[in-house]
Amino acid sequence: MKIKSIILFLIVLISLGASSCKKYKPLKLNKTPYLGIELRTDGYYYYTWDSQGTTRYGITVLYKDGTMLAPSIASDKSTSLIDIDSEISSGNLYRYNSERQLSWGLFKISNDSIQTSKWFPVFLGASRAGLSKGVILNDTTFENTSYQDSHPAGGLPLQVFHFRQFAPKPDSTNGFL
């Protein structure tokens, strides 16, 4: 009887934890229109990393309304900027990420500093709102210099983002921000 009670208690606890974990915490920035010229917004910013000897690309799209899109990109489409351009042009990138809350965030620029806040997955569908801070090197390059609450294992690698002019950009319309 005692074992059944413990098992029932654990099932209830896991069920409650899983249902409450799916709620997204508020981001650490407020949505503020970007009216500055410190960074360009007529394209996207990309960074690279090595994955088992293959250079991979990730992107972040900054919008004048203060939102940012940091989309997931299929691994077979993330090995060249030409492939990423094709994913944007075809609409595939937006279709996949428009309803994916983890792909969206906010940014704020003040002088030569940039802050971004987005959601990061943690466990059982839970997420946490992270904040990164960086320095703007010029209007086409910025570097993340610190992360707060972005990853349960203690942070992400610091990244240098380079600008790539591209039009048309994916739409910034989403149901999260």
pLDDT computed for residue 4 by the predictor: 59
pLDDT > 70: percent of the chain = 81
Q: How far apart are CA 135 and CA 150, in angstroms?
A: 18
pLDDT computed for residue 16 by the predictor: 46
pLDDT computed for residue 158 by the predictor: 78
CATH number of 24-165: 2.40.128
SS3 label, residue 17: helix
- Which has more confidence, 25 or 44? 44
Mean pLDDT of the chain: 84
Q: How far apart are CA 169 and CA 4, in angstroms?
A: 56
pLDDT in tens, 59-118: 999 999 999 999 988 877 788 999 999 999 999 988 989 889 899 999 999 999 999 999
The domain spans of the chain are 24-165
pLDDT in tens, 136-158: 999 999 999 988 765 555 555 67
pLDDT computed for residue 9 by the predictor: 56
Q: Which of 17-31, 89-103, 152-166 shows the lowest mean pLDDT across its residues?
A: 17-31
Cis peptide before 168 (omega within 30 of 0): yes
Q: Write out 142-168 in H/E/C secondary structure.
A: EEEEEEECCCCCCCCCCCEEEEEECCC
Cβ atoms of 141 and 162 closer than 8 Å = yes
Average pLDDT over residues 151-171: 79
Task: Write down the residue that tokens 């971004």 correspond to.
Answer: 116
In whole angstroms, what separates CA 120 from the centre of its chain? Answer: 7
